[in-house]
Structure 1
Amino acid sequence: MSIKFYAPLWGNTLPFKEFCKKVKEAGYDGVEMDLPLEEKEKGEVLNRLREFDLELIAQYYQSFEADPSANLTAYNGYLEHLLAARPVAVNCQTGKDYFNFNENQAHFSLAQKLSASSGIPITHETHRGKCLYSAPVASMYFQQIPDLRICLDISHWCNVHESLLEDQKGAVDLALSRTDHIHSRVGFAEGPQVSDPRAPEWSDALQAHLGWWDRVVQRHRKQGSLLRITTEFGPFPYMPSLPHTQMPISNQWDINVYMLDLLKNRYLNK
């Protein structure tokens, strides 16, 4: 078994070269990000990642089209754009919470075909507003699609179900068994991101998430398979801020590096 850790581009304000240098020095294996559609800019990004020996998890979050057919067409085009860069994996916020089963199933089927033809794994994120937005809905898809693999961002489900999922055990168990990628953000009953996981008032939420992630790690360790983890605490408006100024009350980068060190010590030093 091996675990690799990725930094999110989300929230970065540095020039990309400086960001890559900072990511490498912090001890990450790569970056999770979307890619520019303009080929020259895309090439520059990929060259910079190679310069710093950083892997790429390519990210699709642009599920903007309200019409299922138009959404599927755009999904296909953007996935082809990402796969052409030969990332180590693609993570998708697939579909919509208001598409029906067949409409979202078409997206999963397309992704499976593109993954098979490219040899690049594609995971589907448990994200609010998208297909896998809640525990029982995701469980239904898992039961109907045996090969569906996910990026577990369980912080969203805590928010959707306004709990630490004590009453969703069956669905959570099934989700953990399908997880190949983790977004290690800590959510709580009233939001997808605690203000600072280092603060004692969030200990219960942090311990709940660590318990879920532990079980995913144990499964991958038993199977001898690769697990990818992105430390995905985000900027405003995910990060709570002061009124009027939008000044974040915690430092996003510092929190993500804290999560990196916490999880490395927990999983790699045993």
Structure 2
Amino acid sequence: MPTLRLAKTLWGVPEADDPDLWDELFARIKAEGFDGVEAITLTWRTDRDRFVSLLKKHGLQLICQIHTSGGDLDPATGYVYCSSNKLHDHLASFVKLTAEAKALGAVLINSHSGHDSWGSGDKAVAFFKHALLVEAQLGVPVVHETHRQRLLYSPYTAAELLSKPELAALKVNADLSHWCCVCEKVFDAADPRDDWWPATLRLVAEHCEFVHARVGHAEGPQVSDPSAPEFAAEVSAHASWWRTIWAAQAARHPSDDAAVWAEPEHGPPPYLQTLPFSQQPVADLWEVNARMAQRVRTEHAAAMREAAASTAAPPAPPPSGPDFIAGGDAGRWGMSSYMGPKDGYVFREQGPRGAGYYREGTAAARAGSDAPAGPEPAKPAPSVGRDGSLLRAAMDENPDVADKLASMMGGAVPPVAPPAGEDEAAAAASAEKLRAVDEEGVAVGARLAAQQREGAVEFACASASAPGGDLSLLERCVGKMNLGSASGGGGAAEVAKMVFSAGAEQLSLVTHVPESKRRGVDAAAWTRAVLAAIGGKVMCSAPQPAPLGGGSIVLAAVSADGGEHEPDADMALGLAAAARFLEEDTPA
């Protein structure tokens, strides 16, 4: 079984703000059995060299917590947590902050990533895809926290993102207290409204490499003191969720040499409640986290015993459905054992889904009794999302998924009705936008391909208006340029190209250099030369494999600033710089 490593958060620890007190502080943290600390930028930037050397002196490892589009100190307002909702700002910040964390020797980077307004759409996926590329180049594991204001702020959005095949390698830091606050409830698998929760928890567990052990409640992200008896239900629920996560980690990391991180993370006011007028905290934060550390050790040990037992004798698949509450080892399935039984349920030792509590009046509840069995309750249809987007995406990714869904539903897949009212208009506008992007991509690609056949072009600079400066749409547009003509694309995959798109907020550019042209032009060098000529606030991704034509593709953006940098003018500079680079650096 993997080894548990405990981190001590420096959030809310007054001594963390004073480098003169670090030596004594780190000695105390080590003496209490912690293996490392988690710190934000303000802490280590106070005195980097002393911070690193004292951690090394006391044998403590470092987890860096970063906040994309944040991390700086504003003299007027204090710490800047999140200053932008723009994709390029968050990507540029992520690259900068992760590099800074690696230079400090961090063993793990915990990122508060992106902006909640992106939902689970193209911007969110684009951010995480680029984050995975950066992480691979960095060589330091990066987890993305389930935190309010950020991309994984909600269990529903997080489940959609974590289900995407292109994000299979994404790692998360599970701070599930935030989700209790966002949804105003502690999730209960025995409640018919929460029958989605076990599957979502298992999905989180598959991606989780770090646990923030803080207990939330329906009206906030932190109970005042987890030792208080009035919070026993919330503590028990969270503990069962952590055990599910740790069991999944044990399955992924069976070696005794593997280590998994957890951290008691109850925080200072305003997370910690205070008395009115005096503002005195209602509990001692250090003691709260010390007690929670012991609870984490105990729960993790229990999870490892359960995991070892299940390895020796694998359990049956977990039961599910709103008519059933698991008995006995309910916590193994991510359900809170303290939540059953409830009124309206009867216990059956040999029910159709195993021992447990079954809703009265159902065939499952009557099984094993003298009552005649009635028809089995209908199997609920799989969820397809309010606007059908998940179903449509699944069909696009896997052509035979419709047949599979039809089999599950016992008939044909029902047509997905478009949202009504304003949502319907928005969906129509979005579809029209995508059609315009695709049509322009095909047209530009066809032109470039024709010029290449005529021997007039091998390297090209072009612009696209339909994406409107949206980087993810421009990437889609270039994909259409490269797609073969037989598949409805422009057929320009063998043309090395830099394509620009100007919008109100930014200038975006996508550079694609196919494998056949890589000896002539390096995509990253070409992009850097253009960005240097434009100047301003820029974002540039690392080169990534191009899906069509081979070679590499680089994404970049230049932010409008309301002054010197206006996207249309920047595009003119960029087109000139791109052509100049080709004239100077491309072999004849």
- Fold match by TM threshold 0.5: yes
Matched, 1:248 2:281: yes
Find 1:209's aligned residue among 219, 225, 238: 238
Task: Judge which range, 254-263 or 216-225, deviates more.
Answer: 216-225
Spell out, residue by residue over 1:138-178, the C-alpha distance to the aligned partner (whole angstroms, 9 max, x if none). 01110112111100000000111111122141322211221
Contact 1:180 1:227 in 2 (8 A): yes
Matched, 1:124 2:144: yes
1:38: Cα distance to partner? 8.1
The equivalent of 2:25 in structure 1 is 19
Query: What is the correspondence of 1:1-270 to structure 2 with a 5 Å cutoff?
Result: 1-14=2-15, 15-36=21-42, 41-61=47-67, 62=70, 63-100=82-119, 101-144=121-164, 145-166=167-188, 167=194, 168-169=196-197, 170-223=199-252, 224=254, 225-268=258-301
Higher-RCO chain (CA-CA 8 Å, sequence separation at least 6): 1
CA distance in 2, matches of 1:211, 1:39: 37
Contact 1:197 1:255 in 2 (8 A): yes
Task: Judge which range, 160-169 or 131-140, deviates more.
Answer: 160-169
1:257: Cα distance to partner? 0.6
Contact 2:85 2:114 in 1 (8 A): no
- The 1:40/1:214 distance shift into structure 2, 3 A limit, reads closer
Spell out, residue by residue over 1:25-74, the C-alpha distance to the aligned partner (whole angstroms, 9 max, x if none). 11100001123598782122111111110010111123432333222222
CA distance in 2, matches of 1:165, 1:39: 39
CA distance in 2, matches of 1:102, 1:221: 33
- The 1:211/1:66 distance shift into structure 2, 3 A limit, reads same
1:16: Cα distance to partner? 2.2
Task: Judge which range, 190-199 or 10-19, deviates more.
Answer: 10-19
- Computing the radius of gyration from Cα coordinates, the structure with the larger value is 2
Structure 1 gaps, min length 5: none
Q: Secondary structure at the match of 2:211?
A: strand
Q: Secondary structure at the match of 2:83?
A: coil
Contact 1:4 1:228 in 2 (8 A): yes
Q: Which amino acid aligns with 2:209?
A: D
Q: TM-score, with normalisation over the residues of structure 2?
A: 0.44
Q: Secondary structure at the match of 2:59?
A: coil
Contact 1:92 1:125 in 2 (8 A): yes
Over the residues paired in the alignment, what is the CA RMSD in angstroms? 1.8
Spell out, residue by residue over 1:199-243, the C-alpha distance to the aligned partner (whole angstroms, 9 max, x if none). 000000000000001111112223324321011000000000011
CA distance in 2, matches of 1:39, 1:129: 24
Q: Secondary structure at the match of 1:98?
A: helix
CA distance in 2, matches of 1:143, 1:52: 41
Task: Judge which range, 171-180 or 146-155, deviates more.
Answer: 171-180
- The 1:218/1:39 distance shift into structure 2, 3 A limit, reads closer
Q: Which amino acid aligns with 2:229?
A: P
Q: TM-score, with normalisation over the residues of structure 1?
A: 0.94
Q: Report the count of equivalent residues.
A: 270
1:106: Cα distance to partner? 2.9
Task: Judge which range, 2-11 or 169-178, deviates more.
Answer: 169-178
- Percentage identity across paired residues of the two chains: 29
CA distance in 1, matches of 2:88, 2:142: 21
